[in-house]
């Protein structure tokens, strides 16, 4: 087991974890905003126990990676992921992305992974593609005011925003009867505060305004799109439903009542479903 850093073409240091047998099939995890590779603990340990090699990295400006002042956009996110894959020479890999990480996976697979012949399958979990922002061409998206509100909250009091978000909509802890795990909230805050405010601020534009329709259309490897229908962060009808319409070789799975952070709250359900797809 190891961890380390890879230096990208623009000099950014990207932190990664690489656990498990080097000759096993790699499962590569891409985290959501504003977190780090630590958000995949439950999945990495699960797949490691099932004999896979597991890899995850911290997006630029997040976690332990460099807090750079440039490149906080989907193109650089995908290129950074490619730098990790090339550095570790990952082949026949399954790339799994959550939320913003799902956008990163879509662009990485379409522009880097498939052309390089490195990708076997992809999974989009509660993912942002094709486009979150409401536009004339995307009338079911969320209005700009929603994202401006997140930006304002981050700029005014990032520490408090990073308490409110996991306490409320991210895990569905604001729903009547929900079982609230304080440790999960604290861990979300810890991961968020490890990252840089500038990268997280600019990342809001990246995850909300990047149109990834063409990325989804370009993906030819088998792809699973999965999401809960009580996702209060990324509305599922404009995400997983549209992903299923755009993916050429895709399948969708919608979970009744599951929240945006279902990888954590319902790992006992999601992990076996991920494993079943990988083993197909």
- Which are the catalytic amino acids? 99, 231, 260
The DSSP result for the chain, as a single string, is -EEEEEE-TT--EEEEEEES-TTSPEEEEE--TT--GGGGHHHHHHHHHTT-EEEEEPPTTSTTS---SS--SHHHHHHHHHHHHHHTT--SEEEEEETHHHHHHHHHIIIIIHHHT-EEEEEEES---S--B--SS-TTSB-HHHHHHHHHHHHHHHHHHHHHHIIIIITTTTSTTPPP-HHHHHHHHHHHHHS-HHHHHHHHHHHHH---HHHHHH--S-EEEEEETT-SSS-GGGTHHHHHHH-TTEEEEEETT--TTHHHHTHHHHHHHHHHHHH-
């Amino acid at each position: 087991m190891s961890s380390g850093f890879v230096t990208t073409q623009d000099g950014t240091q990207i932190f990664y974890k690489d656990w498990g047998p080097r000759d096993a099939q790699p499962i590569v995890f891409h985290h959501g905003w504003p977190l780090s590779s630590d958000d995949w603990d439950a999945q990495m340990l699960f797949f490691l126990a099932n004999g896979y090699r597991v890899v995850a990295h911290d997006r630029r400006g997040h976690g332990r990676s460099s807090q750079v002042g440039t490149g906080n956009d989907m193109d650089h996110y995908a290129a950074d992921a490619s730098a990790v894959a090339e550095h570790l020479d990952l082949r026949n890999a399954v790339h799994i992305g959550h939320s913003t990480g799902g956008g990163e996976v879509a662009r990485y697979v379409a522009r880097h992974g498939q052309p390089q012949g490195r990708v076997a399958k992809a999974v989009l979990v509660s993912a942002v593609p094709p486009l979150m922002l409401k536009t004339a061409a995307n009338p079911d998206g969320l209005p700009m005011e929603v994202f401006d509100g997140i930006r304002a909250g981050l700029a005014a009091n990032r520490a408090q925003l990073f308490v409110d978000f996991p306490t409320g909509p991210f895990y569905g802890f604001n729903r009547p009867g929900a079982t609230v795990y304080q440790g999960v909230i604290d861990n979300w805050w810890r991961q968020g505060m490890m990252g840089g405010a500038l990268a997280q601020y600019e990342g809001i534009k990246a995850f909300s305004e990047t149109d990834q329709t063409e990325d989804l259309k370009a993906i030819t490897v088998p792809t699973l799109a999965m999401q809960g229908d009580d996702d209060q962060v990324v509305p599922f009808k404009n995400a997983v439903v549209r992903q299923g319409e755009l993916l050429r070789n895709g399948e969708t799975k919608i979970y009744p009542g599951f929240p945006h952070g279902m990888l954590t709250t319902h790992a006992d359900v999601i992990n076996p479903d991920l494993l079943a797809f990988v083993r197909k």
